[in-house]
Amino acid sequence: MDDLIADFVAECREMLEALGGEIVAWEVQPDDRARLDSIFRFVHTVKGNCGFFEFPRLEALSHAAEDALADCRAGRRTPDGALVSAVLAVIDRISEMVSAIEAGEDMPTGDDNHLIDALAPGAEGATAPVVAAAEAATRASAAPRTIRLSVELLDRVMSTVSDMVLARNELARRLRESTSDVPVDGAFERLSSIIAEMRDAITRTRMQRIENLFVGLPRMVRDLSAELNKQVLVDIEGGDVELDREMIEMIRDPLTHIIRNAVDHGIEKPAERLKAGKREIGLLAVSARQSGNQILIDIHDDGRGIDGKKLVEKAIANGVLTKDEAAQLSPRDQLALIFEAGLSTAKEVTAISGRGVGMDVVRSNVERIGGIVEVDSKPGEGTRMTLRVPLTLTIIPALTVSIAGQHFAIPRSAIEEIVRANGESVTLEHLGGAGVATIRGRRVPEISLASVLGLESQVGEQDRTLVVLRPAGGDVYALSVDRIHDHEELVVKPAAPAVMATGLYAGTTLADDGSPILLFDPAGIAAVGGVKLEVQERAARIAEGPASSISKATPVLLFRGLDGGRRALRLAVVDRIEEVSSSAVKKTAGQLRVQLGEAILPLAGATASDIGDGKVRLFRLNDGVQEIGYAFAEVIDFATVDRDIIHAERPGEISGVSLVSNEPAELVDAHWLFANNAAAAAPKKEQLVCLIPDWDPWMQNMLRPMVEAAGYRVIDDAENEKADVVIACLGEELPDNASHKTIWLRAEPEVANTKDFSIYRYDRAGLLTALKTVGAGRGK
C-alpha cells in the first residue's frame, strides 16, 4: 500500500509541476481550451486515485473542481476570473495535502467548504492561500531524493553496461596475452570491480517487489468469486521477493489467467464443497519464492483438481492425440495436456475463463521469457500450478564445456553435479544404443553431446566428463562432454530464430576471448536427445531402491575358517592379519592363547586340535580396549552384507547366516567373542581406594560422587582397609588406617598461610588434579 501511495504522490507531484505553467497561462486566458483540459485531467486523476486511498477531503475538493471544469468543457459555463481563482485555490490546497501525505503527516486541519463554495457559479472569488503554497515548497525539499525515470532509459543503461562487461572481458583477454604489467593489471582490476558494482546496481534498479503484482489479486478473486457464487480465501505469501520489473509485467497476464482458472474451474461451489467433505470456503494460496536464479510462483487451490483421464478423452476427441499415443501418456503428461490448444475439461463455457483457450497462451508466454509452467493435480484435492521464471533476462552464471573443439555454455542453475565417466562409482553402459550412466547406484540416461550435435568427438567415451543436469521441472540426465572449462557469468542475448529453431539453445553470448558461444537449453537437449523424462523418473526410483540399502550395507571380510566354514567378520573390528608359528599357540589357563610379540591374546576360531604344525594365520580383533585373535584358513574377499540376515537361535560365536556374494556365509558375532574371551584376558585393574569420613554429610553427599566418578572406590573409616588416599578437612584428626597420602580440604577460598597445601573444597579442578596425582603415584 505504501508503494501505491508513493506512486500516487509522485504522480500528483509530477502533474502539479507540469501544471505550474498552465495555471498561470490559464489565468491570463480563461477560455483556452487546451489549458482547461490539462487542469481537468489533473483534478480528475486526483479524484480517481484518492477515492481508492480514502482521502475524503482530497476527494471532495477534486470532485468539486472537476464538476465545475466539466461544466466549462461542456459549454454550460464560461470560465471567468472568479472560477480560475477558485480552481487555483483548490489546486494549491491539493498540493498542500499531497505534501502532507508524502511526509507521512496528518492532513492539515481546516475546512475546505469555502473553497468548494467558491467554485459555484456566481460565487465570490476566493483567494488562493499564498502562505500554504510557500509552506508546501519548503516541505517538498525535505522529500526523499527520488526521480522518476522511464524504463526505456534504464534499459539503455542496462544494455550499455552489458556491452561494457563484454568489452572488459575482451580487454582482460588482451591483457593476458600481452606481457604483464603490474600497474596496468592493478588499474584493470579496479575497473573490473567498478563495472561489477555498476552492473549490480543497475540490475537492482530494475528490480521490483512482486507485491506489485500480488496487490490486486485479493480484489480480483473477490469479484470473481462473488460473480460465481463461490467463497474463496486468498492467501498470499512472499510479496517481498524481488523480480525484474519487466519480468513482473511479463508474468502478470499468465498469473491472472491461472488464478481466474483456479477460481472458475478449480474451486467448487459451497454446496459441492460441503458434499465433498471440504470447508465451504475454498482456499487459494499464491506464494513466491526465490530459488537460485529463478523465481517460483505457486498457485495452489483446494478445488476439484484436474482429471487427467478426461483430458485424454477430450484430446483424443479433438484429434490432438491418437489412442495409441494416449495410452503411453504418463500421469504427468496427461495433466500437461491442459496446455494444448483448445482443451478444457470445464463442461460449460463461462465468461470468466473461456473455453480452455488460454492455458496454451499462458505456457507460450511464460516460455517466451525463459520460464516454465508446471501443473500438478489430484482429482478432488486441488491443483498446483507453478510458474518458474528467471530472475533477470540478461546475466546467467554458466559453465563452459567443449566438444570436438567447440565451446558451449550450460546454465549453472540446471547443473546438479559433474562426474568423470571413468571415475569411481560411475559406470557407463549401452542398452540398445542408448547410454545409461550409473552414478553411485543411481541410473540416469546419458546423452552424448557429440551425437546430439552431430559432431565427431576425439575424446574416448571413458575419458569424457558427465554433467548431470536437472532441467527446471524435469528429471536428471547426464550429458557427456569432452571437457569442462570454466564457470563464467555470461551476458546472454536471444539468438536468431533460425538458431532457436533447433530447440537446443537458449541464447548466445560472447566469451572472454570475444568469440560467440551458444548457451544450451538443458530441457531442449533432453528433448532432442530423446530422453523420456517420466519413464526415466520411474527407472531412477527403481535403481535408487537397492542403492540406498547398499549405503546401509555392512562391509565384511569374507574368509574360510580352520574348519572350512565360510564366514564373515565385520571389517571394522579386524585390526590386522597376523601370521605366527603354531608353537606360539598354547592352551594355558583353560583357554587357547596366542603369543604375539609381547602380548598374549586369547585365540578364538580354533581348538587345540585344529592347530597343526607350521603357520597359523589369525585376525587380530580389537574392540577399542582389548584384543583377541581369531584363527582362519584363508581370506576370500571383501564383501558387503546387504541381504536379510537369518539370525541364529541361540547366542554363540555365529550370530546368523546371510547371503554374501551369492553364497551363504556365517556371520561371526564379534560381541560374543569379546564377551567370552576377552573378559578373562584383561587383567583386572585394581581400583584406587579413597577414604572419606562417613560422619561428614558434605563429604558423603557432595564429594563422594565426584571422587567415585574419578575412578576411586570410596570407603569410610568403619571399614578396616588400607586406603590409597584420605580426604579430610583441615583441623581433623586422621583415622588410623590412613596412608601417607592425604588431601586436605579447607573451607575458605583464601590460603591462610603459605605452608598450607590444602585445597579449597569447591576447587573442583584442584581436587581432581590431586586425586590424579595419587593415582599416578600408585601406578608406579
Contact 85, 127 (CB under 8 A): yes
> Is 250 one of the binding residues for another protein (CB under 8 A)?
no
Among 113, 502, 583, 773, binds another protein (CB under 8 A): 502
| Shortest separation between residue 404's beta carbon and another protein, angstroms | 9
517 binds another protein (CB under 8 A): yes
Select 95 or 508, whichever has its Cβ closest to another protein: 508
Helices 81-102 & 2-28 angle (0-180, nearest 10): 160
For another protein, the closer of residues 182 and 496 by Cβ is 496
Full DSSP string of 393-459: SSEEEEEEEEETTEEEEEEGGGEEEEEETTSTTEEEEEETTEEEEEETTEEEEEEEHHHHHT----S
For the CA atoms of 58, 60, 62, 64, the dihedral, rounded to the nearest 10 degrees, stands at -160
Side chain identity, residue 282:
G
> Residues 625, 645, 569, 554: is their CA dihedral positive or negative?
negative
160 binds another protein (CB under 8 A): no
301/353 Cα distance (integer angstroms): 16
**Part of the chain binding another protein (CB under 8 A), chosen from 45-53, 88-96, 504-512, 589-597:** 504-512
520 is a site residue for another protein (CB under 8 A): no
Is residue 455 close enough to count as binding another protein by CB under 8 A? yes
Cβ atoms 474, 134 nearer than 8 A: no
In the list 516, 530, 545, 705, the residue contacting another protein (rule: CB under 8 A) is: 516
Q: Does residue 505 bind another protein (CB under 8 A)? A: yes
For the record, the C-alpha cell of 209 comes out as 517487489
Q: Which is nearer to another protein, 494 or 766 (CB)?
A: 494
In the complex, least distance from residue 519 CB atom to another protein, rounded to whole angstroms: 11
The Cα–Cα gap between 776 and 780 comes to: 7
C-beta neighbour count of 282 within 10 angstroms: 26
CB 620 within 8 A of CB 577: yes
Residue 458 interacts with another protein (CB under 8 A): yes or no: no
Contact with another protein (CB under 8 A) among 104, 277, 454, 614: 454
Q: Is 614 in the site for another protein (CB under 8 A)?
A: no
- Least Å distance, CB 505 to another protein, is 8
Asked if 496 touches another protein (CB under 8 A), the answer is: yes
- Which position among 44, 493, 570, 586 is part of the footprint of another protein (CB under 8 A)? 493
Tell me if 4 contacts another protein by CB under 8 A.
Answer: no
**For another protein, which is the closer residue by CB, 159 or 622?**
159
Q: x/- site string to another protein, residues 164 to 193, per CB under 8 A? A: --xx--x-----------------------
Are residues 399 and 410 in contact, defined by beta-carbon separation less than 8 angstroms? yes
Q: How far is the CB of 470 from another protein (least distance, A)?
A: 22
In the complex, minimum distance from the CB of residue 411 to another protein, in angstroms, rounded to a whole number: 17
Q: Nearest approach, Cβ of 509 to another protein (angstroms)?
A: 7
Which residues have a Cβ under 8 Å from the Cβ of 755 and sit 6 or more positions away? none
Cα–Cα nearest to 621, from 589, 657, 651, 578: 578
Residue type, 23: I
Q: What are phi and psi of 38, to 5 degrees?
A: -70, -35
Could you say which residues in the range 183-242 bind another protein, by CB under 8 A? Answer: none
d(CA 502, CA 291): 28
Which among 767, 692, 757, 699 is positioned nearest to 723, based on CA atoms? 692
- The reply to whether 510 sits near another protein by the rule CB under 8 A is yes
Q: Which of 60-68, 149-157, 448-456, 753-761 is the region at the interface with another protein (rule: CB under 8 A)? A: 448-456
Q: Which is nearer to another protein, 77 or 493 (CB)?
A: 493
Of 62, 261, 508, 658, the one binding another protein by CB under 8 A: 508
Size of the site for another protein (CB under 8 A): 29
Say whether residue 157 binds another protein (CB under 8 A): no
Strands 712-715 and 688-691: parallel
Q: Is 728 in the site for another protein (CB under 8 A)?
A: no
Question: Using CB under 8 A, which of 196, 501, 542, 747 touches another protein?
Answer: 501
Place of cell 559453465: 399
Residue closer to another protein (CB basis): 42 or 477? 477
Shortest distance in whole angstroms from residue 408 CB to another protein: 9
Cα–Cα separations (whole angstroms), residue 182 to 188, 324, 387: 10, 69, 49
514 binds another protein (CB under 8 A): yes
Smallest distance, Å, CB 223 to another protein? Answer: 38
- We find the least distance from the C-beta atom of residue 166 to another protein, in angstroms, to be 4
b/e sequence 19-52, b meaning 16+ C-beta within 10 Å: beebbeebeeebeeeebbebbbebbbbbbebbee
Region near another protein per CB under 8 A, out of 42-50, 487-495, 624-632, 710-718: 487-495
Query: Segment 380-419, which members bind another protein (CB under 8 A)?
Result: 406
* C-beta closer to another protein: residue 127 or 502: 502
**Residue 511 · residue 407 · CB < 8 Å:** yes
479 binds another protein (CB under 8 A): no
Kindly indicate which of the ranges 32-40, 178-186, 511-519, 536-544 contains the residues binding another protein, using the contact rule CB under 8 A: 511-519
Question: Residue 480 is placed in which grid cell?
Answer: 557427456
CA distance 314 to 320: 9
Q: Are the C-beta atoms of residues 42 and 13 closer than 8 Å to each other?
A: no
- Alpha-carbon span 737 to 718, nearest angstrom: 10
**Does residue number 509 form part of the binding site for another protein (CB under 8 A)?**
yes
User: Can residue 499 be called a binding residue for another protein (CB under 8 A)?
Assistant: yes
- Asked if 152 is part of the footprint of another protein (rule: CB under 8 A), the reply reads no
CB of 410 to another protein, least distance (A): 15
Least distance in angstroms from the C-beta of 428 to another protein: 22
> Could you tell me the end-to-end alpha-carbon distance of the chain, in angstroms, rounded to an integer?
82
Residue 453 binds to another protein (criterion: CB under 8 A): yes
Residue 271 CB-density burial (10 A; 0-12 exposed, 13-18 middle, 19+ buried):
exposed
Alpha-carbon distance of 158 to 688, in angstroms, equals 80
Q: How far is the CB of 452 from another protein (least distance, A)?
A: 8
Kindly list the residues in this chain that would bind another protein in the complex (CB under 8 A).
Answer: 163, 166-167, 170, 406, 452-455, 493-499, 501-502, 504-505, 508-510, 514-518, 528
